[in-house]
Structure 1
Amino acid sequence: DVFNVLLQVLDDGRLTDGQGRTVDFKNTVIVMTSNLGSHIIQSMAGEPQEAVKGAVWQEVRTHFRPEFLNRIDEVVVFHALDQKNIESIAKIQLKRLQVRLARMDMTLDVSERALEKIASAGYDPVFGARPLKRAIQ
């Protein structure tokens, strides 16, 4: 199970595979992400960040075993994304697309109205900006 493997990495700072090979994780930063608690972040928009973090942490505790959570040094709870944030992310992704198209001697012009539509189509309160890439494709 993945959590047992992570427990070994987080506890011992190493990982041993099925063939006995060991990988050293002692000087490694491991970043894990989750949408767990995203509904809480949305519902508590505008509340103090510490209150949001506490509520999300309570939700996390209901899904993960204490021996796993006790090995996590830091938890970062991000603010909810709003329409302007999504539009900014869409601009960045569209710029990357424009660069790729330029290599093929093609151009892409996106109006503000089109940008707003793309941002709306690519935003989900639970999944954040993840669907945005699909909307652009």
Structure 2
Amino acid sequence: KTELAKALAEFLFNDESALVKIDMSEYMERFNVSRLTGAPPGYVGYEEGGQLTETVRRRPYSVVLFDEIEKAHPDVFNALLQVLDEGVLTDNFGRKVDFKNTVLIMTSNLGTRLTEKTTPLGFQKNTWEDTYRTIRENVLGELKKTFNPEFLNRVDETVVFHPLKKEHLSKIVVLLVNELNRQLLDQDLAVDLNDEVIDWLISNNYQPAYGARPMRRAIQRYIEDPLSEEILKGRFKNTKKIRVVLEKDSPVFIEEEVEELVSTS
């Protein structure tokens, strides 16, 4: 969900930094809610403005991601009603901040326990579709139990993501490796994972309830961190392509001389 928001920001505004992420676990208490629009006069932080209003006022063309919206205090939803209804939000200075060029995305983990129980890898097509239908019905039911109707009725679209299949996870690993290779290009290095390593990373690290995040952590733990240690030790001094293979149930690096490395795009 977070990666989708990043991709949307880059697609709409040609800049991934156009994404504004607000962690709603920081707004669980009532006294924190005012931070969205700014502290009242006389309180600490009054001149700084609100985390939400000031950011959008300065950069109206952006994607705002409310991460784990279900953790927010109920007063947060009351504040957001003005945005969802009128496309504006009044800050602590009395200014009406325009949200009409802003995309709002709210993520939630409601129903993830059900997803984890019902989505093992390798389902047949019909079974997978039936499983998704069940998950969608239960997640939408949880939404109705958690949020008031007046709030849900102002949300344009509710999207229940399909659980990731193995082929999706393989593509995610490839994207993460491409991202790593772009970072390594300045050092004339590139890594290449064979299919066996990719399958091993998926089978040992994927957790349906947490989406793609475990795969990013797996790449960091088993590829990036060990590779950094080897580079610090002085290995890979020459221009090399590094193959990652599986030996004794663990990824290992094998060096390959290459004449030139081309940026992965």
Q: Aligned residue for 2:92?
A: 18
Q: CA deviation at 1:131?
A: 2.1
The correspondence for 2:173, drawn from 86, 90, 96, is 90
The correspondence for 2:214, drawn from 128, 131, 134, is 131
TM-score by length of 2: 0.46
Alignment map for 1:108-119 (pairs within 5 Å): 108-119=191-202
Alignment map for 1:1-137 (pairs within 5 Å): 1=33, 2-42=76-116, 43=118, 45-47=128-130, 51-137=134-220
Q: CA deviation at 1:86?
A: 1.0
Matched residue of 1:29: which SS? strand
Q: CA deviation at 1:48?
A: 6.8
Q: CA deviation at 1:41?
A: 4.0
Q: 4+ residue runs of structure 1 moved beyond 6 angstroms?
A: none
Which deviates the most, 36-45 or 65-74?
36-45
Retained in 2: the 8 A contact 1:122–1:133? no
The whole-number CA distance in structure 2 between the counterparts of 1:65 and 1:86 is 35
Retained in 1: the 8 A contact 2:115–2:208? no
Is the alpha carbon distance of 1:112 and 1:69 closer, same or farther for their aligned partners in structure 2, counting shifts above 3 Å?
Answer: same
Give the greater-gyration-radius structure (CA): 2
The whole-number CA distance in structure 1 between the counterparts of 2:212 and 2:186 is 26
The whole-number CA distance in structure 1 between the counterparts of 2:149 and 2:82 is 14
| Greater fraction of residues in strand | 2
Q: CA deviation at 1:49?
A: 5.1
Q: CA deviation at 1:95?
A: 1.0
The whole-number CA distance in structure 2 between the counterparts of 1:33 and 1:122 is 23
Q: State the one-letter code of the partner of 1:129.
A: A
Q: CA deviation at 1:27?
A: 4.1
Matched residue of 2:103: which SS? coil
Which deviates the most, 37-46 or 75-84?
37-46
The whole-number CA distance in structure 2 between the counterparts of 1:124 and 1:98 is 25
Identity across the alignment (%): 44
The whole-number CA distance in structure 1 between the counterparts of 2:207 and 2:164 is 10
Which deviates the most, 72-81 or 102-111?
102-111
Retained in 2: the 8 A contact 1:16–1:23? yes
Q: CA deviation at 1:46?
A: 3.2
Matched residue of 1:47: which SS? helix
Retained in 2: the 8 A contact 1:122–1:130? no
Aligned length: 137
TM-score by length of 1: 0.83
* Cα RMSD after superposing both structures: 2.2
Which deviates the most, 49-58 or 98-107?
49-58
